[in-house]
Chain A
Amino acid sequence: MSLAIIGIAEVPTKRDPERTRWDMLTEVCIGAIRDAGVDKDEIEAVISVNPMAQPQMALDMALGRVPEVLGLKGCKDICVLNAGGTSTTNCLRLAKYFLENGQAKFVLIPHTTVQSDIPTQELINFFATAPLDMQWEYPYGVTFNGAMGLITNRYMHDTGATAEEIAAVTVSLRAWGALDPNSIFYGKPVTLEQVMESRMISTPLHAKECNLLADGAGAMVVTTHEIAQELGKSAAYELGHGVRFTGATPVLRKDPYFVEAYRESSQDALKQANLGINDMDLRQIYGAYPFTQCSALEGYGVCEPGEAAKIWAEGRCGPGGDLPCTTMGDATGRGHTGSGVSMAFYLETVRQLRGQAGERQVSDCNHALITTSGGSVMNTATTIFGSAPR
C-alpha cells in the first residue's frame, strides 16, 4: 500500500441552487491543492466521479474539462470512474496504480453535485430506477427506500432489533451531523421521538431515516507514503484494503444485509494492515440506511450478531461514546450528495486522523476503518487508514 491523502477541501452539504457545479468544483480543487501544499502544475492526473443524474456535467468531466479549466499544465491523464457510492473508492484505487507505476506523483480526485435544481419528481424517478431491475423489480413499485425497508425488516426479524433501536441509530448520526459545519444538519440534532413520529415512508423507515438529497462538493490530493513523509504534512496513510461483491439485485442476494461482506472485506483490509478490529479508533460506515450501521459492526466482529442495534441505542457509537462510528453522519445525518457521500467519508476520515475534526474529534485517533458501498450495497469496500505509515 502506498497511497496517502495529503490535501482536502469540501463545500458544505446544502440545498443551494445558487451555486453551480463548476463554481463548487473549482473551489474544492483549488482548496485541496493548496491544502496539500503542492503547485497546481505538479498534479499529473485527475481521476473523478461523474454526477450520474447530471448529464452535462458528467460529459464535461468524462471528456477532460477539469484540468483544462483549472490550468493543470502538468496533467498527463484523466479518467472517470462511476460505481455509485464506491466511485470515490475506485478513484483511490486507480490513483494507487498511477502512483505505484510512477505515472503520477500527485493525483487530484474531485467531486461535485447539484441536485436542488432538478425537479423533485425527476429525482424520485432517477433514484427509483437507477439500481433497479427493469423486468423483475420496477413494475412492482420498488424504490430505493422500499428495497432498504425490505432488508431492514428482515434484519430486525433475524436479530430482534426493535424499531426504536433502529431509530436510535439516526439519533446518533444526526448528533454527529449537528456538530459538523459540513453537514446539512449542522446544529440540528433530533430526538428519538422526532424520528419515530416522522412520516412513515417504507416500513420500518420513517422520513428522518431516509435520505435528503442535497448539493455539495469535495476534493482530495493523493500521493505516495514516501512523498507525504518528505513533505512533512499531516496525512491519512492507506494501510489495507478489501472488497466483497454482494450482487446487483437485492432479492437475489445470499447475504441479505451484508454481514458476510462486511466481515470478509474488513478481514482482508485488516490483514494487509497487520492490525485487528480492536486497534481501530474509529469506524466509518457508508451504508446510507441505518441498519447497515448495525450489520457492519456485527460483520467487523465489534460485537456479536444481533447486539449492534442495542449498542447504538445506548449511544456508544455517537458523540462521547466508547465506540465512535460514522462521525461523518452517513447520508442520513449529513445529506445525500449522490456519489459524493463517499468523498465526504474520506475527507472526514482525513480530518479525524489529522486531529482537525473540531467538536467531533475522536481522541487519539490513529487508526480508522472506512467501508463504502455502491448501488443498493452491491459491494462493501473497506479501507484502513492510519495517521502514520507502517
Chain B
Amino acid sequence: MSDYKKPLPVVQPYSQAFWDGTKQNKLLIQTCGDCKATIFFPRQQCPDCWSTNLGWMEARGTGEIYAFSITYEGVEAAFVEDLPIVLAWVDLPEGIRMQSNIIECDPDSIEIGQQVEVVYKKINDDITLPYFRPIS
C-alpha cells in the first residue's frame, strides 16, 4: 500500500473521527448536539449555531447522484491510471452532499438521480477512502 502515489486527505483533529469511522467501514456524519444540524465537512464548531457540542451519527450508506462528470484527461500524473474517473456529488438521505467518485460502474450508464451505495477502499493503515457505486 506504500506505493500509493495519489494525494491522501489532509486530516484535521476535528475530522479524525470521520477517518476512524471509514477504517471500520462506517460513514460518520458530524452532528450538532444543540441545533441538530448535520454537518459536512466536519468542523471545530457547528456552522449554523457555533456550538462545540458536536457528535457523530452513522449514515445509512446510501445516496443519490446530484451531479456527475466523467474526466478523461487533464489530471495529475498519479491519477492517469484511473482514467476515466467519474466525479460525483452524492446527496445522502441524512441531508449532506459529498464529493466522491462513482466506481465499479460503466461510466456511460451514470445518470443524475441514480441511487448509489458507499464502498470503502483501504489505502493504508490510517486512511480508508469512501467511494460510491450504483445499487444494482
Contact = CB atoms under 8 A, between A and B. Distances in A.
B41 A154 contact: no
B105 interface: no
Interface residues of A, number: 38
B129 interface: yes
Contact of A136 (B66, B82, B98): B98
Interface in A138-194: 138-143, 145-147, 149-154, 157
B110 to A, nearest CB: 9
A151 B11 contact: no
A242 to B, nearest CB: 25
Contact of A146 (B6, B7, B69, B100): B69
A231 interface: no
B120 interface: no
B104 interface: no
B13 interface: no
Interface string A107-141: 00000000000000100110010000111111111
A340 B10 CA distance: 31
B87 A135 contact: no
Given A136-B9, A138-B7, A140-B101, A150 B68 contact: yes
B135 interface: no
B50 interface: no
B52 to A, nearest CB: 20
A230 B135 CA distance: 71
A93 to B, nearest CB: 27
B69 A203 contact: yes
B89 A125 contact: no
A150 B68 CA distance: 5
Interface stretch (B28-36, B56-64, B70-78): B70-78
A312 B32 CA distance: 45
Contacts of A152: 69
Interface residues of B, number: 35
Interface in B14-62: 15, 40-41
A131 B92 CA distance: 24
B72 A141 contact: no
B87 A146 contact: yes
Most chain B beta carbons < 10 A, residue from A125, A147, A203, A210: A203
B11 A150 contact: no
B99 A157 contact: no
Contact of B67 (A138, A154, A252): A154
B69 A140 contact: no
Nearest to B89: A251
Contacts of A149: 69-71, 87
Nearest to B87: A146
Interface in B81-131: 82, 85, 87-89, 97-101, 112, 129
Given A136-B98, A199-B72, 7 more contacts: A134-B10, A135-B12, A146-B71, A146-B74, A146-B85, A251-B89, A252-B97
21 contacts: A124-B74, A128-B76, A134-B9, A135-B11, A135-B12, A137-B99, A138-B7, A138-B9, A140-B99, A140-B129, A141-B79, A141-B101, A143-B71, A146-B85, A146-B87, A149-B70, A153-B68, A153-B112, A154-B89, A157-B112, A204-B69
Interface of A: 121, 124-125, 128, 133-143, 145-147, 149-154, 157, 199-205, 210, 249-252, 256
